[in-house]
Amino acid sequence: MVTVGVHVSIAKSIDLAVDRAKEIGCDTFQIFSRSPRGWSFKDLTEEQVKAFRGKMKASGIVGPVDHMPYLPNLASPKGEHYRRSVDTLKAELHRSGQLGIPYLVTHLGHYHDEGKEGGYAGVTGAVNEAFSAVKNDVMLLLETTSGEKNTVGGTFEDIRQIMDGIGEPERVGVCYDTCHTFVGGYELRTPEGLGETMDHFDEVIGLSRLKVVHLNDAKGDFGSHWDRHEHIGMGSIGEEGFRNILHHPAFARLPLVCETPVDERRDDVGNIRKVRELAEKEASPGGRKKPRKVTGGR
């Protein structure tokens, strides 16, 4: 059995996200706790928090996961945009705590003339400041990226570098996006390639740090750095690749969130169904591996 869901809307009231997740058969789900396309937001009311927590308690759903809005850029540590980005991170950590959401996923952002080392410094500075201001049990998950130009997070070494600069490392984990890592140059399609990739992840970061998976196929080719998601099995990773992923012990134990399209070919229900179908089928020869010892990284 896998724990799979999708990103759901909070339209009209945040507690309705739980209803929507249940209606389409989610075991887990992801939300934006407010509009992702602007800086301003309203504080959560006591009634909203009570309604969300109450529905979650009665739902039997695992998680869920909160995701940072689109506008923040934590990797460019100067100017008003950066200050707003840090303030947004603080606010989302607080909101996740209010709602009882265990994980907050963040993109790491783009650096500018400060260079990659400056990008690392921006992210670690933002996280350390946010953790100093907000004390709760929410774990911040650094999302793997596709390795586009001037980004941090495109390699496992990038993420390790950032984690090493965070003063409260127990509050940080990783969200592994299958589309991003694949187009970023990490092989996932074959048992051998997947095994090597996850061995490398374990050596650099540690499998114990892996907490949530964004399960997305890719429109782009391997190593293309093109961040465009596709329906499960319909992209460059393909059904066989996802069958191998879903049978790998590093992924089988984790919440899986699809951020896939909704179009005439397939909807959210269809992608959840496809994940469960592939998880029930045998992996490729050699795809089932004995669980490796989970380490905490360096």
Query: Catalytic residue numbers?
Result: 37, 67, 70, 107, 143, 177, 180, 214, 227, 229, 259
Strands 3-7 and 255-258: parallel
Whether cis (ω within 30° of 0) applies to the bond prior to 285 is: no
Q: What is the DSSP letter of 219?
A: S
**Which residues lie below 8 Å from residue 273, measured CB to CB, with a gap of 6+?**
none
DSSP conformational letter for 65 = E
User: Dihedral of the CA atoms 264, 268, 271, 273 (nearest 10)?
Assistant: -110
Tally of CB atoms within 10 A around 271: 26
Question: Tokens representing 187?
Answer: 């092989």
In the numeric block, the tokens 């465009």 are attached to 228
User: Rounded to whole angstroms, what are the CA distances from 157 to 107, 114, 147, 215, 298?
Assistant: 16, 19, 12, 21, 11
Question: Looking up tokens 């469960």, which residue turns up?
Answer: 276
